Structure 1
Amino acid sequence: MADKDIRALFLAHRRELQAYLTRKVRDGETAAELTQEAFLRYAQQGPGAAAVVHPRSYLYRTAHNLAVDHVRRQRRERTDPVPVDDMEGVADERPSPERVAGGLSDVAAARDALLELPERTRQVFVLTRIDGLTYGDVARRLQISDSSVQKHLARAVKHVMQRLRGRQAGSLE
């Protein structure tokens, strides 16, 4: 379509199309943007596209679709304000300061229990549980058998768990 034809079409229908869109979206600025988008889509039809027999109808259909898309997008993005009083019923999922302190204390106790272990047992624990290596990788790295890795790991886990249980039992008394 020639620039002259698009300009004539724009001058002939812009105001009525924008008024239509303003009623649909209830915002003059958005209606102006959607009006421009409708004309832009009309102008961007390539030579391979079917010829538009009724340009005014095409513009209204395009404008209507753009308005529907805009309203849907607004509904998805909208967040309604909530009174502060209504927020009191929402559970706070953050751990309490006491729980955080307890967790840090448990980590410190587990670290202390690991430090009580023999060097090789501590190495196996760190390599498997902290570094995430497989038993085979740890065995090769430390030049021990897979079964030795399993025995060291079992010993380490048992020792740490006993220390943590003993600590918890002491805190309940």
Structure 2
Amino acid sequence: MTTGTGALTGFGAGDGRDLLNRAIEAHYEEMVAAASGGGRPRSAALDIVHDLYVKLAMRPEALADTRSLGAFLRRAAANLGVDRLRRERFEGRLFSGTDDEAAAVPVESAAPYHAFDAERRIALLKRAIAELPPRRRAVFVLHRMHGLTPGEIANRLKLSRNMVDRHLRRAFTHCLDRLAEFD
């Protein structure tokens, strides 16, 4: 097994993780620079490199046929950065409206029997919120109940803005999935 640029063969999961750790240490700043493409702030690039490390740590055998770890890691960081930029742009379009705009959309009046379901729906939403992991629940409650912006939540909970957005998306999706099961 080599740790530099030669082909990698015959290593176990522990060897792969050791190799990954050494490679990340050796090429960290190069990966951050590659992930910073498109004028992305350093904090976002650091998040990308972290996410890449987590993905590779779950599958260290992915490094087995790599000839140049540095080139592989730089390319992977750049690709992950491009993927994240595309997702952020998509989400920006998807979630571009404000709560006030959403409230201004007219709705048909509910049928009388829906009033009976209101208590069950509220109980279902309370359970759905309680099912969320603690950090995601805190982000959700701060945003929906206390009206904090994602930036304010990021500062208060010492999270990146991307992580706050991710928690909010997943919390909303979870609650909507639970409501869909009800309907």
Judge same fold: TM > 0.5, yes or no: no
Larger radius of gyration: 1
Considering Cα pairs closer than 8 Å and 6+ residues apart, tell me whether 1 or 2 has the greater RCO.
Answer: 2
Q: TM-score, normalised by structure 2?
A: 0.38
